[in-house]
Amino acid sequence: MDELTLVTWLRQDLPARIDLAGPERRLAAEISAAGRVGGPRRPRQHGVTGNSGHSRRVVLIAAVAAAALAAAAALAIRGLPAAPVPEPGPGPGRAAGSQAGLVPEAGAPRPAATAAQLVAYATRAAAAAPAFDPGPHDWIYTKTLAATSSAGAGGLLFGPPDGKAVTQSWARVDGRELAYVRAGKLVISPGGGEPGGWPDSSYPYLDSLPAGPAELTAVIEANLAAQNDVAGSGDIGVFNAIQALMENKVLSLRLRAALYGVLASDPAVHFDPRVTDFAGQAGVAFYTRQEGYLEVEIVINPRTYAYLGDRFVAYRMRNLPAAINNGVPTGPYLHIRKGQVTGEEAVLESGIVPRAGQVP
Amino acid sequence: MKDSRPAVATPPEITDLTPDGVVIGRSRQEPELFAVLFRRHAAGIGRYAARRLGPGLAEDIVAETFLAAFRHRDRYDVTRQDARPWLYGIAGNLIRRQYRDEARQLRALARTGIDPVAESFTDRADARLAADATSRAVAAAIASLDPGQRDVVLLIAWAELTYDQVAEALGVPDGTVRSRMSRARARLRTALAGVDPRNVADDKEHPRG
């Protein structure tokens, strides 16, 4: 008997009873609506495979000022105060990275306080940053501080974040190997897959991505569509793809600036000018609301534009099925309080090193 | 007076043997035909989603899958006769957005022997069934897979798609599916080493015999 057979058996005996009446009614209503509008018609075009272009972002924005304007417009659309077009950010030469352009020096005259400023300052700094060109056999080092809970974890923290864990990991630039420290020893294992939503996360591919938010959004949405994901206005797919990429790869400042431009122009994404990451560092955050109760944040250093980590915070109370408390079921639900942190991680250090086990 | 309009060929009737691709192609002009696709595949997708997340979320996933498929039916390559990879791909992306919930429920089963997914099929608190040791070990092993590996394993083991169909569903090359499967099986093999299959109830059989 092999392992796949054992997997096949799990939950095989669940009742086959799934109520399909509701889904069928919803589809019937959609079909009916489609049929009423002028009789037979073409379905909506989303601009991924057709020639119609993207309905949400029809203007190609490449210049810094235009990107900032787009961000300000997007913020205004979702009811937040529109950010002013930023004044010039850090001057050329002030953002030279200490680690091959990974992290520019903290030289901005003032921290970015709006999404538009963040995009503009990061874009300006990226233009002056040295090339980010790690070799295929180099290693990307990341040291993170993550929240843990004495109540356990599995997908999320089952209780208040009352503990901390520091993790050091290395990923070879060509993706072939990963390394981490276990029980004081360096363990090297085969490389994993691509971050969710990305067909390729090699640096040549990432370097080929366009810088304009409209163009880059179109690429990300096309990638999602190619994987049968459903991206569109108000959708969180683009945000989640960006979060997955930033969480798993150390990115050039050029690409980070472009990704911030995408987030700033996405109607599903909000901006918080004042957050504190898990390591106590002040930051700004792009965030979305997901699963009906959870705010997912990407935290960014407003002075260096570096990725600082992510946070998952309940914005409303939620009772999740199945209760776990120190491994013992105490009831049918896991009660999540409003404001409860269900996951939090901060990047303490990152950089390129020649060998696994080394630190910058 | 003689009708001068050219005769319009009547399209062939949709039957059980009509390929999905033809149905989807026709539904672009005749939207109501999309209901045929629902009747063919909703139950299978519902069961797959229910095994992963429980019946409540499964109903939402079935609804959202078919709504998305209907809205994007112009993207479908109608030369592909079987729409299951496409539909499971959409459903899988919706399921993946709940991966934290899924991992939590699998770990709950592994730790306590009580399966939140199985429990959610009943309203009776006294209807809890303690899972056997094998199920607990398998749940822990599946929970340990990364989302991409978990998708591949469960699309093959639970949705019974082929490697080619999984590649189509996930929008990745065949080689990626095979390498993910290989790594996942290695991890499962390690995690399940020593599991005694005699703990599995006697009446369970491999669905493919």
Q: Give tens-digit pLDDT for A11-56.
A: 877 765 678 888 888 898 888 887 644 333 333 322 222 222 222 2
Tokens of A139: 């290693």
**Is the residue at B52 inside a domain?**
yes
Query: Is a pLDDT exceeding 50 seen at residue A74?
Result: no
Cross-chain CB nearest to B35 (options A27, A291, A343): A27
A328 CB within 8 Å of a chain B CB: yes
**In this predicted model, what pLDDT tens digit does every residue of B13-52 receive, in sequence order?**
777 788 999 999 999 888 888 998 998 999 899 999 988 8
Q: How far is B81 from chain A (nearest CA, A)?
A: 17
**Amino acid B114: pLDDT:** 74
Complex ipTM? 0.80
Query: Is a pLDDT exceeding 60 seen at residue A75?
Result: no
Query: Is a pLDDT exceeding 50 seen at residue A103?
Result: no
CA distance B140 to A307: 32
User: Does B171 sit within 8 Å of A199, measured CB to CB?
Assistant: yes
- Least confident window among A163-172, A245-254, B30-39, B125-134: B125-134
Query: Is a pLDDT exceeding 70 seen at residue B165?
Result: yes
**Is the residue at B65 inside a domain?**
yes
| Per-residue confidence band for B102, with pLDDT thresholds at 50, 70 and 90 | confident
**Amino acid A261: pLDDT:** 95
- Least confident window among A49-58, A174-183, A286-295, B84-93: A49-58
B164 CB within 8 Å of a chain A CB: no
User: Does A9 sit within 8 Å of B204, measured CB to CB?
Assistant: yes
- Least confident window among A41-45, A107-111, A141-145, A334-338: A41-45
Tokens of A105: 């020096």
Residues in chain A: 360
**Amino acid B196: pLDDT:** 58
Mean pLDDT of A211-217: 92
Query: Is a pLDDT exceeding 90 seen at residue B156?
Result: yes
Number of domains in chain B: 1
Q: Would the pTM count as exceeding 0.80? A: no
Return the SS3 of B151.
Answer: helix
A37 CB within 8 Å of a chain B CB: no
What CATH number does the domain containing B91 carry?
A: 1.10.1740.10
Mean pLDDT of A278-292: 87
A332 CB within 8 Å of a chain B CB: yes
Any long-range contacts for A165-170 (C-beta under 8 Å, 24+ apart)? A166/A348, A167/A143, A168/A141, A168/A142, A168/A143, A168/A359, A169/A141, A169/A142, A169/A143, A169/A144, A170/A139, A170/A140, A170/A141, A170/A142, A170/A353, A170/A356, A170/A357
User: Does B30 sit within 8 Å of A154, measured CB to CB?
Assistant: no
Reference B198, options B137, B146, B133, B141; nearest CA is B133
Amino acid letter for position A152: G
Cross-chain CB nearest to A31 (options B31, B59, B115): B31
**Is the residue at B11 inside a domain?**
no
Name the average pLDDT for chain A: 72
**Is the residue at B148 inside a domain?**
no
**Amino acid A328: pLDDT:** 47
Query: Is a pLDDT exceeding 50 seen at residue B128?
Result: no
**Amino acid A96: pLDDT:** 25
Q: pLDDT higher for B167 or A83?
A: B167
* Residues of B (174-193) whose Cβ lies below 8 Å from A: 176, 180, 183, 185, 188-189, 192
**What residue numbers bound the domain in which B39 lies?**
19-97
Q: pLDDT higher for B127 or A359?
A: A359
Name the average pLDDT for chain B: 79
**Is the residue at B63 inside a domain?**
yes
Query: Is a pLDDT exceeding 60 seen at residue A59?
Result: no
Mean pLDDT of A197-215: 90
**Is the residue at B164 inside a domain?**
no
**Amino acid B22: pLDDT:** 92
Of all helices (H) and strands (E), which one includes residue A285?
strand A282-290
**Amino acid B57: pLDDT:** 82
Cross-chain CB nearest to B116 (options A24, A152, A321): A321
Query: Given CA atoms B164, B167, B168, B172 in this order, what sign does their dihedral have?
Result: negative
- Least confident window among A58-62, A71-75, A274-278, B146-150: A58-62
Q: Dihedral (C-alpha) B94, A152, A298, B177: value to the nearest 10 degrees?
A: -40
**Amino acid B17: pLDDT:** 81
Pairing of strands A163-172, A139-148: antiparallel
Query: Is a pLDDT exceeding 80 seen at residue A305?
Result: yes
CB within 8 Å of A41: residues ≥ 6 apart = A34
* Residues of B (106-135) whose Cβ lies below 8 Å from A: 106-108, 111-112, 114-121, 125, 134-135
Query: Is a pLDDT exceeding 90 seen at residue A154?
Result: no
| Per-residue confidence band for A334, with pLDDT thresholds at 50, 70 and 90 | confident
User: Does B42 sit within 8 Å of A155, measured CB to CB?
Assistant: no
| Per-residue confidence band for A254, with pLDDT thresholds at 50, 70 and 90 | very high
Q: How far is A59 from chain B (nearest CA, A)?
A: 23
User: Does B121 sit within 8 Å of A30, measured CB to CB?
Assistant: no
Residues of chain B by 3-state class (helix, strand, coil), percent to 5: 65, 0, 35
Query: Is a pLDDT exceeding 50 seen at residue A80?
Result: no
Cross-chain CB nearest to A31 (options B32, B68, B180): B32
Q: How far is A283 from chain B (nearest CA, A)?
A: 25
